[in-house]
Amino acid sequence: MHFDFHVAWDSLPKLLAGTATTFIVLLPALALGLLIALPVALARFRPGPRAGIAGAYISFFRGVPSLVLLYLIYSGLPQFSIVRDTFLWSLFSNAYVCAWLGLALTHSGFMAEIICGGLAAIPAGTIEAAGVLGLTPMQILFRLKLPMAARFVLKAYQNELLIMVKSTSAVSAITLVDLTAAANTVFDYTYDPFTPLVTAAAIYWCITNAMRLGFAALDRALNRHLAPA
């Protein structure tokens, strides 16, 4: 078994096309997941039944594997007539929509927990001081709580994002040809499992390390006012 540079070069366009699909799936799922996670995390801090519902939501979507969720959305929902016989069919018959929704729900469960941790880390005295200064609850939320929480959760969000990049490989189960599926396609017609998979792994490595360096730069920018330890 050896790495065949000729096969790697010939298969590169297909692998890059798969990489593009990976990002087409990943970016909307991240944005949608974050939009869902924020109100869930805020509800977790409110007394009453909303906190319990938010907690159950977080527990469920953190516990269900993304592959199972994708199967349920792509193959399970069309079994219901309310989906199959209505305008919803035009949405859920699209593999991209199913991938975005499935990954976004999984991501939102983890992100809601991460945001909760960031909000809990804000010193109570800081919030009390903002109230004394006359800031409204909405101003405290958007000008104080969320910016401070963003700084606290940055490293946890980085880890979640890197996991999400690799989780996109599950979308091959619902007919999308992402980077991993493209590597398997090359294997099917070259009978060389080593070269395309190693090449795909190298592309994943480049993506994750580019993100890691980007987060390191962002962390330095957000914490530039802090004295070095």
Q: What is the pTM of this model?
A: 0.89
Q: Which residues contact 114 (CB under 8 A, 6 or more apart)?
A: 37, 153, 156, 157, 160
The C-alpha angle 115, 121, 127, rounded to 5 degrees, equals 100
pLDDT averaged over every residue in the chain: 91
What pLDDT is recorded for position 226? 62
Mean pLDDT, range 222-228, rounded to an integer: 65
194: CATH: 1.10.3720.10
> For the chain, how many structural domains are there in total?
1
Q: What is the 3-state secondary structure (H, E, C) of 7-70?
A: HHHHHHHHHHHHHHHHHHHHHHHHHHHHHHHHHHHHHHCCCCHHHHHHHHHHHHHHHCCHHHHH
Query: What is the pLDDT confidence band of residue 84, given thresholds at 50, 70 and 90?
Result: confident
Query: What is the pLDDT confidence band of residue 229, given thresholds at 50, 70 and 90?
Result: very low
- pLDDT more than 90, % of the chain: 60
Q: Is 229 domain-assigned?
A: no
Give the model confidence (pLDDT) of 41-53 as tens digits: 999 988 889 999 9
Mean pLDDT, range 163-182, rounded to an integer: 92
Q: Is 36 domain-assigned?
A: yes
Q: Is 96 domain-assigned?
A: yes
Q: 228 vs 41, which has greater pLDDT?
A: 41
Residue-number span of the structural domain to which 169 is assigned: 5-223
**pLDDT higher than threshold 70 for residue 133:** yes
Encoding tokens for residue 171? 């979308």
Residue position matching structure tokens 């509800």:
43
Encoding tokens for residue 99? 């991938």
What pLDDT is recorded for position 227? 52
Mean pLDDT, range 174-178, rounded to an integer: 93
Q: Is 91 domain-assigned?
A: yes
Encoding tokens for residue 148? 């401070």
What pLDDT is recorded for position 132? 87
Q: Is 228 domain-assigned?
A: no
| Whole-number Cα distances in Å, 74 to 62, 81, 92, 96, 111 | 19, 14, 7, 10, 23
